[in-house]
């Protein structure tokens, strides 16, 4: 898709499970390549705080979540 430029250069996707959050962060590098970072976090408050802190440290601009259950509530 020529002519398109990314809207965000640092994005994260979170796959929400019952007791686990699987997070992948994609960061566009200066040379145009994409660096991929993945981690797993538990589902407790302290784990969610650690997840949020990790996203802040990586300067993530946009986060999307996916859950097939009701675990996001």
All domains in the chain, ordered by first residue: 10-66 (3.30.420.40)
Average pLDDT, the chain: 91
Which is nearest to 58 in space by CA: 7, 10, 13, 22?
Answer: 10
Model pLDDT, residue 18: 86
Q: What is the pLDDT of residues 53-70, one digit of tens each?
A: 999 999 999 999 998 877
Give pTM, 2 decimals: 0.85
Residues whose CB falls within 8 Å of the CB of residue 51, separated by 6 or more in sequence, listed in order? 14, 21, 23, 39, 41
What local confidence, expressed as pLDDT, does residue 1 receive? 47
**What is the distance, to the nearest Å, from the Cα of residue 64 to the centroid of all Cα atoms in its chain?**
7
pLDDT at 28: 96
**Segments of the chain with pLDDT less than 70:** 1-3, 71-73
């Amino acid at each position: 898709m020529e002519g398109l430029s990314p809207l965000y250069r640092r994005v994260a996707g979170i796959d929400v499970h019952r007791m686990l959050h699987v997070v992948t962060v994609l960061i566009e590098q200066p040379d145009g390549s994409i660096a991929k970072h993945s981690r797993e976090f538990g589902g407790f408050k302290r784990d969610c705080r650690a997840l949020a802190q990790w996203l802040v440290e990586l300067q993530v601009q946009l986060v999307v979540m996916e859950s097939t259950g009701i675990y996001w509530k």
